[in-house]
Amino acid sequence: MPFSDYRTALVTGASSGIGAAVVERLCRENLEVHAIARSTGALKELAERTGCIAHVIDVTDRAAIADLANRVQFDILVNNAGVDRPKKFLEADEGDIDLLVDVNLRAVLHLCRLIVPGMVARDCGHVINISSIAGNYNFGGNSTYHAVKAGVAMLSNQLRIDAFGKRVRVTEICPGRVATDIFNHVHGDDPSVRERFIDGFELPQAADIAEAIAFAIAAPVAVNIGHMEITPTLQVMGGLQTAKPEKTFPEAGKSGEPKR
């Protein structure tokens, strides 16, 4: 479906990184792009640079999101806003769990609830859910993040079932490591963070993710690109670990009962 079939787009988490790059890319297609984020200054600068319509809204503010969705019919929805608090689940903090569920999953569910029915009614629309390889693969220290991103992955699959028979396309974008400021947001604004995650690595840029999204949107109407994993060439997922036990249990007695 060429870009000319769409008029409006909504991008969340738009103030920086992938979100800002997506706004810039969609604006180049002469769409009316609405950009949502909490950062007033960054959004203002983005609007001045691209011509997008800025909305200083927290994606967890359900009333503000509903008001916007009621005022504008969106043909493209890009769910990009996300947060992380890397922590093993054995050390999980109540507030961190609530934050990740609210921003990374609940907000996505409500945005789809508010916008996708209109797409179905008009027989036209495209939902882009920017998830993560964490929704499909496991690596240490991000247990809640894995759980919510897996939820987004399943929602993406289910939306296609719920919109079956209509020209509403759904694409899940699963980035690996990308050269953005997200690591500073997560781990603290310290030079060592960039050295740990960015410097010296060959990484995709935010603009590369935006181009992949544009490719999916611009595909012919008969084509739905459902799932993209976009990782550095020099990054792989997976691995196998086997641990030795720290202690052994007593052998069972001759009667089959545990020794006491």
**Residue pLDDT, tens place only, 13-24:** 999 999 999 999
Torsion from C-alpha of 29, 32, 33, 34, nearest 10 degrees: 180
Calculate mean pLDDT across residues 207-228: 97
User: Does residue 242 carry a pLDDT above 80?
Assistant: yes
* pLDDT class of 248 with cuts at 50, 70, 90: confident
Q: What tokens were used for 62?
A: 């359900």
Q: Which of 12, 26, 135, 145 is catalytic?
A: 145
User: Does residue 198 carry a pLDDT above 80?
Assistant: no
Domain 3-230 classified CATH 3.40.50.300? no
User: Does residue 259 carry a pLDDT above 70?
Assistant: no
Q: How far apart are CA 151 and CA 108, in angstroms?
A: 10
User: Does residue 255 carry a pLDDT above 60?
Assistant: no
Calculate mean pLDDT across residues 26-53: 97
User: Does residue 217 carry a pLDDT above 60?
Assistant: yes
Go through 134-173 and write b for each residue having 16 or more CB atoms within 10 A of its CB, e for each that does not.
bbbeeeeebbbbbbbbbbbbebbeebbeebeebbbbbbbb
Q: What is the pTM of this model?
A: 0.89
Q: What tokens were used for 166?
A: 């209509």
Q: What is the largest CA-CA distance in the chain?
A: 80
137 is annotated as an active-site residue: no
User: Does residue 98 carry a pLDDT above 60?
Assistant: yes
Calculate mean pLDDT across residues 183-188: 54
Q: In what order do the strands lie in the sheet with 53-56?
A: 53-56, 32-37, 8-11, 76-79, 125-130, 168-175, 227-230
User: Does residue 80 carry a pLDDT above 80?
Assistant: yes
Of residues 254 and 138, more confidence is placed in 138
